[in-house]
Structure 1
Amino acid sequence: MKGGIDLRMLEIAAAAIESGSMSAAGSRLGLTQSAVSQAVHRLEKEIGAKLLHRERRPLAPTHAGSVLAVQVQEVVQRVGRAVDAVRSAAAMPERLDLRLGMVDSFAGTIGAYLVKELVDGALALRLTAWSGLAYSHTEALMRHAIDAAVTSDPMEGLDDIVRYPLFREPYLLLVPKELGSKCRDHDLREILSRHHLIRLSARSHSGSHIERHLRRLGLEPPRMLEFDTSDSLVAMVATGVGVAITTPLCLLQGTAFVDGVEVMPLPGPGFSRQLTFVTRREEFVTLGPRVAELARNIVRARALPRFLKLAPWLEPKMEWMMLSPDNIG
């Protein structure tokens, strides 16, 4: 504002003009009569015009004073709206658009619930979503084709990545329903020697994870059947083609065929995979943890009851991660 004029000075003068009294204006604003009078005098000096007829009681505004009172009211209202807008902006994420990658097993089971909440819920984002294999999302994030991903790939060794762990799920064994009793209480080596292993593709993160586990155990079942998608894998087991190693979320992707399979704990040493919400550092400081928490809550509310319906013994094997970002790497 011009010279030494500030909003507070304008508010004081407007209060004196509206109330017709320096003392009444002071009571309204928590000021002394003297402080109000001094503020009005300073403003009149800065403007170069009288604002009040002081010889009248109650004090009467000059024409300039009447105009000022109206204008100040509008200014105060505009300032109030500006402050409200800033507060609303501060409560919102730093970006309202998000290009999100989702690993197939997440996208095909509960991804729609996350998308709905991101678009229609409190965040109200503009969203573009892709599904696919975890490794494809790693590459897309590196070349800035996507902004974030729900992934099973920890992206170890990548700089400028922020990771929000969501949950850890155990790998389990799927066998055809009619073979359940014949596979129970047998070790994995014996089961794989009698039945074909239906593999998740080694191009997928989970597929390569399973292959590493088998090598650690010294197991090398023949490579005969391999699929990119979990629904195809579950269908093969349900029709009696063989057995498979997978996770609860991947199992849900083949829900159309679950009546034909028995879900068993994986014999021998267990292992698990972790799903993580991953973003680039500094880009989603506010939005990242909010989306991660939302995704984690949706898994617990939407997926866990379905896991337990298929295999009640799974509950203690699920691990729900803390939401603080893991910035290692």
Structure 2
Amino acid sequence: MTLDDLRVFAVVCRTGSLSAAARDLTCTQSAVSQHVRRLEREIGLSLLERRPRGVVPTPAGRRLHSAVTEGLGCIDHALRQLEELAHADGGSVRVTTGATTVRHFMAAAVVDFRRRFPQASLEFQTEPSSRGCFDALAAGSVDLAWVTLGPSIRSAEQHPVVELPWALAVTARDPLADRAFIEPADLQDARLIGLPENSTARAQLGSWLAESGIRPVFDTSVTDWDTAILLAELGLGHAVVPTLPDWSGPGHPDLRLIPIPALPPLAAGWAVRRWDALSPLARAFAEGVAHHCRKRPGMP
């Protein structure tokens, strides 16, 4: 088997389709099939199960995919480190995160990084969920992932940077707008704007509310916190959101963020394959983001 066989197999597992893998790899579907068949012949086991809407790995395929993802990620990471050694400070840092994270947590650090390392480049890859960020990290396509922190996983280290208290976002005209704080019981049967169910933050919020016996209804789904807060500010619903400093103050006279102190704060920060294996540039950017977050007014 070749590295190309393994790379193609990993893409097939990620996309769930031979045709989608061919599009990603800009090759033909028959070429993708040849790579997979070569692996299956050499291993002596079927690696993919054909389904009406694509393919899924067999038990043997899942085991191989896990090893391939980790192994190729290590190889790609080592090659990038060697490239940076060859080009001094002219390398790049690849970051994956949600759509609005750069605005809230990284803007000052990006400016500072550009001043310190003018020859280096920053590459941002947007993912809709922390799970997608972890997958990109495991595949070796990024150096750093800014995520909502959750249970530990084998393929990544998680390093907390900020803790964000929860608040209920409402319009200033809402009957709840003058409340000093909100209790979880106040959310019983509330109809809320929320992130998709597969997001880590939504899962944690639902779990914490369930521990208090609260089961709100999420009848509006958005892809990021900024959109949820904007809809609440416009009077289109309520949203339980992490307290983000950019939304506080005179710039948003029609918005109220009412604290929910009974809920544990939401932790966010960096996920990396191995902190001690980060390139000097990636480590400098990660530490710069943490430094600016600590300095920023209103950021816990």
Q: How does 1:133-172 map to 2 (within 5 A)?
A: 133-154=129-150, 156-159=152-155, 161-172=156-167
Distance in 2, matches of 1:289 and 1:217, equals 40
8 Å CA contact 1:154–1:276 kept in 2: the answer is no
- 3-state SS in 2 of match to 1:259: coil
- Show CA shifts across 1:137-186 (max 9, x none): 11111111212112223462223x34332122212222221224564466
Distance in 1, matches of 2:133 and 2:151, equals 10
8 Å CA contact 1:166–1:292 kept in 2: the answer is no
Distance in 1, matches of 2:238 and 2:266, equals 19
8 Å CA contact 2:95–2:125 kept in 1: the answer is yes
Give how far 1:113 is off.
2.9
Following TM superposition, the consecutive aligned residue runs of length 4 or more in structure 1 with deviations greater than 6 angstroms are 253-257
Give how far 1:109 is off.
2.6
Structure exhibiting the larger radius of gyration computed from Cα positions = 1
Cα-Cα RMSD: 3.2
What's the counterpart of residue 8 of structure 2?
none
Give how far 1:296 is off.
1.2
Q: What is the TM-score when the length of structure 2 is the normalising length?
A: 0.60
Q: How does 1:1-329 map to 2 (within 5 A)?
A: 96-122=91-117, 124-132=119-127, 133-154=129-150, 156-159=152-155, 161-179=156-174, 180-181=176-177, 183-184=179-180, 187-193=183-189, 195-249=190-244, 252=246, 258-266=252-260, 269-281=262-274, 282-284=276-278, 286-301=280-295, 304-305=296-297, 307=298, 318=300
Give how far 1:237 is off.
1.0
Distance in 2, matches of 1:257 and 1:222, equals 30
Distance in 1, matches of 2:92 and 2:182, equals 51
Unaligned 5+ segments in structure 1 are 1-88, 308-314, 319-329
Distance in 2, matches of 1:276 and 1:185, equals 26
Instruction: Give the aligned residue type for 1:272.
Output: P
Distance in 1, matches of 2:251 and 2:198, equals 24
- 3-state SS in 2 of match to 1:258: coil
8 Å CA contact 1:118–1:124 kept in 2: the answer is no
- 3-state SS in 2 of match to 1:202: coil
8 Å CA contact 2:166–2:243 kept in 1: the answer is yes
Give how far 1:278 is off.
2.3
Distance in 2, matches of 1:210 and 1:241, equals 21
- 3-state SS in 2 of match to 1:139: helix
Over 3 Å counting, the alpha-carbon distance change for 1:238 and 1:141 in structure 2 is same
Distance in 1, matches of 2:270 and 2:118, equals 17
Higher-helix-fraction structure: 1
Over 3 Å counting, the alpha-carbon distance change for 1:256 and 1:142 in structure 2 is farther
- 3-state SS in 1 of match to 2:123: strand
Unaligned 5+ segments in structure 2 are 1-84
What's the counterpart of residue 73 of structure 2?
none
Give how far 1:203 is off.
2.6
Residues paired across the two proteins, number: 212
Distance in 1, matches of 2:96 and 2:199, equals 15
Instruction: Give the aligned residue type for 2:148.
Output: S
Distance in 2, matches of 1:129 and 1:214, equals 33
Instruction: Give the aligned residue type for 1:204.
Output: S
Distance in 1, matches of 2:289 and 2:142, equals 17
8 Å CA contact 2:146–2:270 kept in 1: the answer is yes
Distance in 2, matches of 1:163 and 1:125, equals 25
- 3-state SS in 2 of match to 1:274: strand
Distance in 2, matches of 1:185 and 1:98, equals 41
Q: What is the TM-score when the length of structure 1 is the normalising length?
A: 0.55
